[in-house]
Amino acid sequence: MEKLKQRWGLTSNFQVVLILIVFSINGSFAAFIAKPLTIFIGLNPETTNPWLFWPVRIILIFIIYQITLPLVGYCFGQFKFFWNFFTKKVLIRMGIKGLNKEN
């Protein structure tokens, strides 16, 4: 726990537990939401070639995960952590300008 607290800049074990809970809930949530989205865009696992279906579904899960991570983190009082350490880094890597380290 101490290594995670130091690495993530946290002050309590309770924060670490909350953050791990957010990761687990958000991963399950993203996979849950991706299923109806793949069907909505016309990709059915029974009728679509697996070489097309699974990469599209994995990409959808990744996108949903990134979008919902700060939202689920907010529900657990950890929005700032997820915005600063994860989502913000992903957005910067994607080339979205206007996000600096101070915000």
Q: In whole angstroms, what is the distance from residue 97 CA to residue 8 CA?
A: 24
Residue 103 pLDDT more than 50?
A: no
The answer as to whether 99 is a domain residue is no
pTM of the model: 0.77
The answer as to whether 98 is a domain residue is no
Q: How confident is residue 17, by pLDDT bands cut at 50, 70 and 90? A: very high
Total structural domains within the chain: 1
User: Percentage helix, strand, coil, to 5, in the chain?
Assistant: 75, 0, 25
The answer as to whether 100 is a domain residue is no
Residue 101 pLDDT more than 60?
A: no
The answer as to whether 103 is a domain residue is no
Angle, CA 8 vertex, CA 7 and CA 14 arms, to 5°: 115
The answer as to whether 51 is a domain residue is yes
Residue range(s) defining the domain that contains residue 62: 2-93
The answer as to whether 45 is a domain residue is yes
The answer as to whether 31 is a domain residue is yes
The answer as to whether 6 is a domain residue is yes
Q: pLDDT tens, 26-68?
A: 999 999 999 999 999 999 889 889 999 999 999 999 999 988 9
